Amino acid sequence: MDIREITNSATSLAGTSTRRNKSSIASEYSQILASKIANVKTDIEKMNAVQEKLDEIADLQEEITGEVKIDEDSGNANRNDSSSTASAKTVETIKRFMPDGSILITTYEGGTITEQIKQKPHLQIVADYSAPPNPDGSVATKVERTQSLDLAALLMM
């Protein structure tokens, strides 16, 4: 045997094995892809079922409260007497408790600030026995807020 014949036979054997490997890899890939597509289809079916249940809950809430929630995705955007989502502005009120004890109340309408109120804390002069006394011999004083930060009461304002 000549070296050329050996290399030719080796390359022909290698070519058939790579063809077999390519076809087996392609079939395995197609099987994996088919299983993934089936999983996606079942997930979409589950999501649709959950969405239907959420829509039923929203309908029940509308019946109980009498309010119609505007929802762009479910198709009930125009159920509230021909109002559109463009004309419906969301109003949001945010209360911030500042380090000095004041409360900053900001009202947003449609993403823009419409009102901003700052409530100053109630302050009271109190004796400070931890500080050195004043030069005239009187007790040092400090200003403390008397407004309690009871969050439940403040959120009800």
- Structure letter (DSSP) for residue 139: P
Instruction: Provide the residue-wise pLDDT of the chain in tens; the chain has 157 residues.
Output: 556 666 566 555 555 555 567 778 888 888 888 888 888 888 899 999 999 998 888 888 877 776 655 555 545 544 444 444 445 678 899 999 888 778 899 999 988 999 999 988 877 888 898 889 889 988 898 887 766 556 566 566 5
The 3-state DSSP class for residue 135 equals coil
How far apart CA 122 and CA 116 sit, in angstroms, is: 19
Per the CB < 8 A criterion, the answer to whether 109 and 91 are in contact is yes
- Structure letter (DSSP) for residue 33: H
Locate 152 and state its tokens: 């439940």
pTM of the predicted model, to two decimals?
A: 0.31
Instruction: Single out the residue of 93, 112, 113, 111 nearest to residue 103, CA to CA.
Output: 93
